């Protein structure tokens, strides 16, 4: 479960990690009243489930309220990175002196949470990782010990960053790790973590991924997910604990299986034959014939789908159950 920036920042704020003051709006009519307590100039950021929005024109600036209304009017209902803009975050613009990168991820190799830090943050962090990986520090976290002050000292020393930021950075790392654990995150990222006026650290942007299986423990996140502007078939499939994934808009084949690896393999094979997949449908394990019937019903609600490829791995689903249908 990926969170939009504004929801991620709500969590950061709840965990005492400094963020810009801002509001999220869903229409032009809300703007004037919503931003009355926010000081100009403003940064205006579309809230979409896609990266690279800044380079795609999804982040703009406004000097005053009138300009903010004008900019937002141009952005609402615009398609950016394949997503339609329905919500916009308007926040106070920060005067940034430097940009860092900070995240905690669930590392599959070490099988433990991992701190990743770079003093070269911002929109080009991926390029830094490719061309100058030495500027990125990775530090596994022992879950039995947690975050200690020496973690922060090591990070600053390794990146040759001024130790005067030790207290602030240590506070942020400890609270980010607390958020990571308490919200069952697979990723908690701040990029950029910026140095602003008076040498304060401020979370300018963030990404938060939460394990779907944990949402029963987080009613606030489950409620947020239901508020998203999602494909109706995605929501209907979710009621049966299925995963419906729209693929290509002009695809006329649906692929149904009981595992993401099998799904991707089938889609690849179809692609190699010049065919297009319109939707993928993950049944999960132990799907009965009745549940599979529901899955077929949901798939063919997509009027673009003319064909269905079913590929079942018999190790986790009884094939005689599947055969009944």
Q: Output the pLDDT for position 68.
A: 95
Task: Name the pLDDT band for 30 (thresholds 50, 70, 90).
Answer: very high
Task: Name the pLDDT band for 59 (thresholds 50, 70, 90).
Answer: very high
Q: Output the pLDDT for position 126.
A: 73
Examine the pLDDT at 175 and tell me if it is beyond 70.
yes
Residue 315 vs residue 20, higher pLDDT: 20
Examine the pLDDT at 262 and tell me if it is beyond 80.
yes
Over residues 80-132, the pLDDT tens digits come to: 988 899 999 999 999 999 999 999 999 989 999 999 999 988 777 777 767 77
| Cα gap 67→117, rounded to integer Å | 36
What is the residue-wise DSSP string for 137-205?
A: EEEE--TTT---HHHHHHHHHHTT--GGGHHHHHHHHHHHHHHHHHTTEEEEEEEEEEE-GGG-EEE--
> What's the rounded mean pLDDT across residues 130-153?
89
> What's the rounded mean pLDDT across residues 243-250?
92
Q: Output the pLDDT for position 300.
A: 96
Over residues 178-226, the pLDDT tens digits come to: 999 999 999 999 999 999 999 999 999 999 999 988 999 999 999 998 8
Conformation bin of residue 176: beta by default, left when phi > 0, alpha when psi is -120 to 50: alpha
Instruction: Identify the residue whose tokens are 């069952």.
Output: 184
Examine the pLDDT at 134 and tell me if it is beyond 80.
no
> What's the rounded mean pLDDT across residues 267-271?
95
Task: Name the pLDDT band for 40 (thresholds 50, 70, 90).
Answer: very high
Mean pLDDT score across all residues of the chain: 91
Q: Output the pLDDT for position 79.
A: 92
Q: Which two tokens stand for residue 37?
A: 């307590």
> What's the rounded mean pLDDT across residues 158-165?
93
Q: What is the CATH number that goes with domain 98-217?
A: 3.30.470.20
| Cα gap 156→161, rounded to integer Å | 5
> What's the rounded mean pLDDT across residues 10-26?
96
Q: Output the pLDDT for position 39.
A: 93
Identify the CATH class of 21-92. Answer: alpha beta
Asked, as a colleague might, if the bond just before 41 is cis with ω within 30 of 0, I would say yes
* CA-wise closest residue to 44 among 36, 52, 53: 53
Q: Cα-flanking dihedrals φ and ψ of residue 81, to 5°?
A: 55, 35
Q: Output the pLDDT for position 286.
A: 65
Question: Per CATH, which fold does 231-323 belong to?
Answer: Rossmann fold (3.40.50)
Q: Output the pLDDT for position 324.
A: 64
Q: Give domain limits for the chain.
A: 21-92, 98-217, 231-323
β-pair partners for 190: 102, 206
Conformation bin of residue 81: beta by default, left when phi > 0, alpha when psi is -120 to 50: left
Q: Output the pLDDT for position 319.
A: 72
Strands 307-311 vs 253-257: parallel, antiparallel or unpaired: parallel
> What's the rounded mean pLDDT across residues 129-145?
85
| Cα gap 139→157, rounded to integer Å | 13
> What's the rounded mean pLDDT across residues 270-285?
92
Choice among 46-50, 98-102, 309-313 with the minimum mean pLDDT: 309-313
């Amino acid at each position: 479960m990926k969170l939009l920036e504004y929801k991620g920042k709500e969590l950061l704020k709840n965990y005492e990690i400094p963020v810009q003051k801002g509001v999220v709006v869903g229409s032009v009519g809300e703007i004037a009243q919503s931003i009355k307590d926010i000081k100009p100039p403003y940064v205006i950021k579309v809230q979409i489930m896609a990266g690279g929005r800044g380079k795609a024109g999804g982040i703009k600036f406004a000097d005053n309220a009138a300009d903010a209304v004008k900019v937002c009017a141009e952005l609402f209902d615009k398609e950016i990175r394949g997503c339609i803009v329905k919500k916009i975050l308007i926040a106070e613009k920060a005067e940034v002196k430097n940009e860092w990168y900070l995240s905690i991820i669930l590392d599959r190799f070490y099988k433990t949470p991992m701190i990743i830090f770079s003093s070269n943050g911002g929109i080009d962090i991926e390029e830094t990782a490719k061309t100058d990986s030495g500027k990125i520090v990775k530090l596994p976290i022992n879950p039995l010990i947690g975050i200690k002050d020496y973690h922060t000292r090591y990070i600053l020393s390794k990146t040759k960053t001024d130790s005067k930021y030790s207290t602030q950075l240590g506070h942020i790392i400890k609270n980010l790790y607390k958020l990571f654990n308490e919200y069952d995150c697979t990723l908690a990222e701040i990029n950029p973590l910026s140095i602003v006026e008076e040498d304060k650290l401020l979370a300018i942007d963030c990404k938060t991924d939460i394990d779907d299986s944990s949402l029963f423990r987080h009613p606030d996140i489950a409620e947020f997910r239901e508020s998203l502007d999602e494909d109706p078939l995605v929501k209907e499939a979710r009621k049966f604990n299925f995963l419906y994934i729209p693929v290509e808009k002009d695809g006329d084949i649906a692929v149904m299986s009981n595992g993401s690896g099998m799904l991707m393999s089938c889609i690849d094979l179809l692609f190699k034959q010049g065919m297009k997949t319109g939707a993928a449908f993950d049944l999960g394990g132990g799907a009965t014939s009745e549940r599979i019937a529901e899955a077929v019903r949901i798939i063919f609600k997509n009027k673009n789908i003319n064909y269905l490829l079913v590929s079942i791995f018999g190790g986790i689903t009884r094939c005689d159950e599947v055969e009944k249908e």
